[in-house]
Amino acid sequence: MDFWINFWTIFFIASLVLFAGLAIVVSIGGFFNIRSLFKSLTNRDGQRAGNEEPAE
Amino acid sequence: MDLSAIGIDTNFGPVDWCIVVGYLIIVVSFGVYIRRYISNVTDFIVAGRGLKTFLAVATMIGTELGLVTVMYSAQKGFTGGFAAFHIALAAAIVTLVVGLTGFIVVPLRRMEVMTIPEFYEKRFGRGVRILGGTILAFSGILNMGMFLKAGSIFVMGITGMTEDIHLKVIMSVLLGMVLLYTALGGMVSVAVLDYIQFVVLSFSLLATSLLSIRYLGWDNIIETVSALKGEAGFNPFHSEGFGASYVVWMFFLGLVSCAVWQTAVIRACSAKNIRIVKKIYTWASIGFLIRFLLPYFFGICAFVYIAQHGPLKSIFIPHEGSADSQVTLMAMPVFLSQILPAGFIGIVSAGMLAAFMSTHDSYLLCWSSVLTQDVVAPWFKKGLSSNARLLLTRIFIVAIGIFILVWGLWYPLGQDLWDYMAISGAIYFTGAIALLVFGLYWKRASKVGAYLALIAGFCAVVGLNPVRGLVFRLASILGLETAEIQASINGMPGARLSAIIGLSVISMAMVLMVAGSIIFPDRGGSSEYKE
C-alpha cells in the first residue's frame, strides 16, 4: 500500500504544479487569441458587406 | 436532507449571493452581446474555424472541466478514495498520445467535417450518417440528462437550500440562462465564455485544493482513507475497489472522451489547422488530467471531513450499506460550504456555475448541430439553406433543454453519476470507435460493417439500471430463466458492471465491423473518402 500512497502523493503534487503553469500560460495566450478572433470576424464581415454593395 | 437540523450551517452568505448573481448576469449579457459576430452556420457551430491554440485549449478544458464533471468526479473520489486517481492518469496519457500522434482527430480535421456523422457519410454513405447521427444525438442527450440535476444539487449543497422545490426552481433558472446565450451566440460566445470560465475556475480550484490541504492536513487525509477504505482506497487494481477490468475501461473512456466524443472533437474541427489540432491535444492532456484529479481530491477531502464529523457521518457514510447516490453527490458541496471562507465561496460557486453553463452550452450546441446537420439535413436532396439550419439548430437547442429539465426531475439515478455518464455515452461511442478507427485506418471497412457496429454499440443501453430491469421483466414474461444472472449482476459493484458491459459491447462492435466488412465488402466504391 505504501507504494500507492507515495505514487499518488507525488503524482498529485506534480499535477498541481503543471496545471498552475498551464493556467497562467493559457490565460495570457487565450486573451490575445480572443482579440485576434474578433478582429478577423469583424474584418471578414466588413469585406462581405463591401462585396454585397452594388457597384455604382 | 435537512442539514441545519443537525447543526450544519453553510458559510455561504449574502456577499456570496451578490458575487454569484453579479457574475452570472455579466457572463450571460456578454454571451448575448457576441451574437453580432454570427453571420452563418459555420460561425455558429465552429466559430468560422478561427480558434487558435490557447483559446482552443481554454475552451476545450473549459467545456470538459464543467460543474457536472466536478460533481461526478468528486462522488467517485468520495466512494473510491485515491484509487480513483487512476482515471485521471488514464485520461491524461491517452490525450497526450492522441496529441502527439494525431490519432483519429487529425484525419477528421483534414477532411474538414463539422460532426463525426459527417465523416460517416463521406466514408460509408448517407444512411450510415443518419443512423449514426440519430444514435449519437440520442446517446448525447441522454448523457447530459443528469447535468441539470447535478448542478442543482451542487447549488443546494453549497448554499444550504434543502427543499425539493428549490431543486426544481434552480434547475429551471439555470437552464433558462444557458438557453438564452447558447441559442443566440453559438460557438463564438461558447469559446469566449469558456475562456472566462477557464480562468476563474482554474485559479479558484487550485486555491481550493490548497485550502483543503491546509484545513485537513495531508497526513490526516492519508491516514483516514487508509483506516476506512484500506488498500482498496489506494490500489486501483484491488479486488474490493475498482479492479483491473475497470482500469482498462477507463483507458477506453479516456480515448473516447478526447478523440471520439463529439463535444471534444468539435474543438479539433474548429481549429485553424492540423498543427494546432495536435498542439491543442498535447496541451489539453494536462487539462484532462486536472479536470478529474482535483474533483477526486475534493471528494476524498469531503470523505475525510465527513468521517470526522459524527452527525454528517451518519448521513453520508452509514454503518450498514452505502448512502444513496444523490446523497454522496452532495458530499463535496457540503464540505466546501464548511471550509471555504465567505467571499471566496462565492467566487468558487460563481466559477462552478459558469462551468456548469459552459458545459451545457457546448453540449446543447453540439447535439443540436448533430440533429440539424446529420439527422434532418441529409433528408433534403437540394440541401438546407444556412438560415434554415441556423433556425433548426436553435429550435433543437430549446427542445433538448426542455427534455433535460424533465429527465433530470424524473429519472431515478440509482448508480454513481460517472457510471451513468459512461454507460449512456457508450450507446454511441462503442459503435463510433469502431467506425472511426476502421473507417480512417482500414481501406476495406464497409458500409455493412459500419451498420452492424453502430447497432452493436446501441446494446450498451442495457447498462442503465431501468433498461436492465425492463429486459429482465421482458425475459420473465417470455418464460426465460434469468434469476441466476440477475443474482450475479446484483452482487456486482455497479462500477465493475458498467465496465464489463462497456468492454463487451466495444469488443462486439469491433468484431462485427471487421466481419461485416469482410463478408459484405462495398461494391463500386461508394465512399468519397480517399486517404
HEC sequence for B352-420:
HHHHHHHHHHHHHHHHHHHHHHHHHHHHCCCCCCHHHHHHHHHHHHHHHHHHHHHHHHHCCCCCCHHHH
B86 contacts B247 by C-beta, under 8 angstroms? yes
Residue B297 has what pLDDT? Answer: 96
% of chain B surpassing 70 pLDDT: 89
Question: At B51, is the secondary structure helix, strand, or coil?
Answer: strand
Closest CA to B151 of B301, B444, B354, B309: B354
B35 confidence band (pLDDT: 50, 70, 90):
low
Q: Which residues of B touch A45 (CB under 8 A)?
A: 37, 39
The predicted-structure confidence for B127-143, as pLDDT tens digits, reads as follows: 999 999 999 899 989 88
Rounded to 5 degrees, φ, ψ at B51 are -80, 125
Q: Angle A46-B271-B432 (CA atoms, 0-180°, nearest 5)?
A: 130
Q: Where are the alpha helices (DSSP H) in B230-343?
A: 244-255, 262-270, 274-307, 310-316, 325-329, 331-339
3-state helix, strand, coil in chain B (%, to 5): 80, 0, 20
pLDDT at residue A41 greater than cutoff 80: no
B37 confidence band (pLDDT: 50, 70, 90):
low
User: In which residue are the cell numbers 421482458 written?
Assistant: B474
Top pLDDT among B479 and B285 is at B285
Q: Where are the alpha helices (DSSP H) in B34-66?
A: 41-46, 53-64
End-to-end CA distance of chain B: 58
Question: At B271, is the secondary structure helix, strand, or coil?
Answer: strand
Residue B59 has what pLDDT? Answer: 75
Average pLDDT over every residue of B234-254: 90
Residue type, A54: P
Interface pTM (ipTM) of the complex?
Answer: 0.80
A56 confidence band (pLDDT: 50, 70, 90):
very low
- Residue positions counted in chain A: 56
In the structure grid, which three cell numbers stand for residue B448, read together? Answer: 455493412
Minimum CA–CA partner of A46 in chain B: B37
In the structure grid, which three cell numbers stand for residue B269, read together? Answer: 474541427
Residue type, B67: L
The predicted-structure confidence for B405-458, as pLDDT tens digits, reads as follows: 888 877 776 677 888 888 888 898 999 999 999 999 999 999 999 999 999 999
B530 confidence band (pLDDT: 50, 70, 90):
very low
Minimum CA–CA partner of B289 in chain A: A15
For B234, the closest of A8, A12, A23 (CB atoms) is: A8
The predicted-structure confidence for B300-331, as pLDDT tens digits, reads as follows: 999 999 999 878 888 888 877 677 777 888 89
Q: Angle B20-B21-B27 (CA atoms, 0-180°, nearest 5)?
A: 90
The predicted-structure confidence for B494-513, as pLDDT tens digits, reads as follows: 677 888 888 999 999 999 99
Ramachandran bin of B235, using left for φ above 0, alpha for ψ from -120 to 50, beta for the remaining angles:
beta
Q: Which residues of B touch A30 (CB under 8 A)?
A: 54-55, 57-58, 195, 198-199
The predicted-structure confidence for B53-71, as pLDDT tens digits, reads as follows: 787 778 777 767 778 888 9
pLDDT at residue B93 greater than cutoff 50: yes
B3 confidence band (pLDDT: 50, 70, 90):
low
Top pLDDT among B121 and A45 is at B121
User: In chain B, count of helices (H) and strands (E)?
Assistant: 24, 0
Q: Angle B265-B68-A5 (CA atoms, 0-180°, nearest 5)?
A: 95
CA distances from B317 to B2, B97, B223, B485 (A): 16, 39, 17, 29
pLDDT at residue B525 greater than cutoff 80: no
% of chain A surpassing 70 pLDDT: 75
Q: How many CA atoms lie within 13 A of B424 on its CB side?
A: 21
Rounded to 5 degrees, φ, ψ at B163 are -70, 150
Q: How many whole angstroms separate alpha carbon B175 and alpha carbon B177?
A: 5
For B206, the closest of A16, A25, A40 (CB atoms) is: A16
Mean of the per-residue pLDDT values of chain B: 83
For A30, the closest of B47, B55, B188 (CB atoms) is: B55
Q: How many whole angstroms separate alpha carbon B192 and alpha carbon A43?
A: 18
Cα dihedral B504/B506/B508/B514 (nearest 10): -150
Q: How many whole angstroms separate alpha carbon B359 and alpha carbon B363?
A: 6
Residue B146 has what pLDDT? Answer: 84
Q: How many whole angstroms separate alpha carbon B199 and alpha carbon B62?
A: 9
In the structure grid, which three cell numbers stand for residue B232, read together? Answer: 482498496
How many other CB atoms sit within 10 Å of the CB of residue B19? 19
To the nearest whole Å, the CA of B222 is away from the closest chain A CA by 8
Q: Which residues pair with B271 in a beta bridge?
A: B51
To the nearest whole Å, the CA of B456 is away from the closest chain A CA by 37
In the structure grid, which three cell numbers stand for residue B97, read together? Answer: 498520445
Top pLDDT among A53 and B367 is at B367
Residue B303 has what pLDDT? Answer: 95
Q: How many whole angstroms separate alpha carbon A41 and alpha carbon B343?
A: 38
B96 contacts A18 by C-beta, under 8 angstroms? no
B503 contacts B249 by C-beta, under 8 angstroms? yes
Q: Which residues of B touch A37 (CB under 8 A)?
A: 47, 50-52, 55, 188, 191
pLDDT at residue B198 greater than cutoff 90: no
Residue type, B365: L
In the structure grid, which three cell numbers stand for residue B51, read together? Answer: 480558434
Closest CA to B177 of B407, B386, B350: B350
DSSP state of B261: S
Residue B531 has what pLDDT? Answer: 40
Residue B50 has what pLDDT? Answer: 57
To the nearest whole Å, the CA of A12 is away from the closest chain B CA by 8
pLDDT at residue B391 greater than cutoff 70: yes
- B252, exposed or middle or buried, with CB in 10 Å at 0-12, 13-18, 19+? buried
A48 confidence band (pLDDT: 50, 70, 90):
low
B259 confidence band (pLDDT: 50, 70, 90):
confident
Residue A52 has what pLDDT? Answer: 52
In the structure grid, which three cell numbers stand for residue B281, read together? Answer: 491535444
Q: With CB atoms and an 8 Å threshold, state whether B199 touches A32.
A: no
Residue B135 has what pLDDT? Answer: 93
Q: What is the greatest pairwise CA distance in chain B?
A: 74
CA distances from A40 to A37, A50, B80, B106, B109 (A): 5, 15, 47, 24, 21
Of B99-113, B245-259, B379-393, which gets the smallest average pLDDT? Answer: B379-393
Residue type, B292: F
To the nearest whole Å, the CA of A35 is away from the closest chain B CA by 10
In the structure grid, which three cell numbers stand for residue A43, read together? Answer: 474584418
